[in-house]
A and B are shown apart, each in its own frame.
Chain A
Amino acid sequence: SQQGEEDPQALSIQEGENATMNCSYKTSINNLQWYRQNSGRGLVHLILIRSNEREKHSGRLRVTLDTSKKSSSLLITASRAADTASYFCATRSGGTSYGKLTFGQGTILTVHP
């Protein structure tokens, strides 16, 4: 079964607006990661946040993690048409040394020019 569940399943916005995607998970984690997938391509790693971190920034990306609620959010500020893609959260459970990730079902983001 999937560890992470993303919300919403699909998001449509205008260029310049902010996009927020949420991820919930079920078991304790070591870290949580976000990936982007453009149509017909492989996934690209965006950002990793560890279980002892609450917020992390990378360029126009902001990720928050609330381990008490077992949830994370990805904020993309000032969205561009090139941000159109599917976004996946992935969790690495604690206590393992080999880094096996469990992925959610993804959020499809469409940014209209």
Chain B
Amino acid sequence: NAGVTQTPKFQVLKTGQSMTLQCAQDMNHNSMYWYRQDPGMGLRLIYYSASEGTTDKGEVPNGYNVSRLNKREFSLRLESAAPSQTSVYFCASSDLGQRTYGYTFGSGTRLTVV
């Protein structure tokens, strides 16, 4: 099925460990995004990539890095995980300017840092 695929779905890390969250879309979208969702906070933008080859910081980029590997894939890396990064992470994609269809979201990665 066409859409956005995120891996893994669940992860438990110890403080200080690193990991990479993977995201791939097969809709030929130009733009991709990483959000985190915390109770009572809604979704907050971490990083985005307007098009292949570009990345920019969002609202809460500290502690994260991203790589737009190609048009399909956009990964999020935690270099040294902290308990404050316990959250649900969502990847999304859209056509440039999302004139009509809005974002397509993945099913999320639930990350716990202990």
* Chain A residues proximal to chain B, CB less than 8 Å: 2, 4, 31, 33, 35, 40-45, 48, 88, 90, 92, 97-106
Q: A42-B90, A92-B98, A105-B40 are in contact. Are A100 and B45 (CB under 8 A)?
A: yes
Q: B102 is contacted by which of A45, A98, A105 (Cβ under 8 Å)?
A: A45
Please tell me if B104 contacts chain A, counting CB pairs below 8 Å: yes
CB-based contact A100/B104 at 8 Å: no
Nearest CB of B to A44, in Å:
7
B63 to chain A, nearest CB (A): 19
- Would you give the shortest CB distance from B45 to chain A, in whole angstroms? 7
| Given A88-B42, A103-B43, residue A42 in contact with residue B97 (CB < 8 A) | no
Q: Which residues of the other chain, A, contact B41 by a CB distance below 8 angstroms?
A: 2, 105
> Which positions 40-94 of chain B face chain A at CB distance < 8 Å?
40-45, 48, 50-51, 58, 90, 92, 94
Contacts of B97 in A (CB 8 A): 97-99
Given contacts A43-B90, A88-B43, contact A99 B108 (CB under 8 A): no
Contact for A2 among B42, B58, B90, B108, CB less than 8 A: B42
Contact A48 B100 (CB under 8 A): yes
Known: A42-B108, A98-B96. A104 touches B101 (CB 8 A): no
Contacts of A99 in B (CB 8 A): 31, 50, 94, 96-98
Shortest C-beta distance, A106 to chain B (Å), equals 6
Residues of B near A102 (CB, < 8 A) are 45
Which are the 3 A-B pairs with shortest beta-carbon distances? A98-B50, A42-B105, A45-B102
Distance of A43 Cα from B45 Cα, bound (Å): 14
* Max chain A C-beta neighbours (<10 A), residue from B33, B90, B97: B97
Residues A35 and B102 in contact in the complex (CB < 8 Å), given A97-B50, A98-B48: yes
In the bound assembly, the distance between CA atoms of A4 and B92 in angstroms comes to: 19
Q: Are B105 and A44 in contact (CB under 8 A)?
A: yes
Instruction: Provide the bound-state CA to CA distance between A99 and B90, in Å.
Output: 16
A42-B107, A99-B96, A105-B42 in contact; A48/B102 too (CB < 8 A)?
A: yes
For this complex, 17 residue pairs linking A to B, each with C-beta atoms less than 8 Å apart, are A31-B98, A35-B102, A41-B107, A42-B4, A42-B90, A43-B43, A43-B90, A45-B101, A45-B103, A45-B104, A48-B100, A48-B101, A90-B102, A101-B45, A101-B98, A105-B40, A105-B41
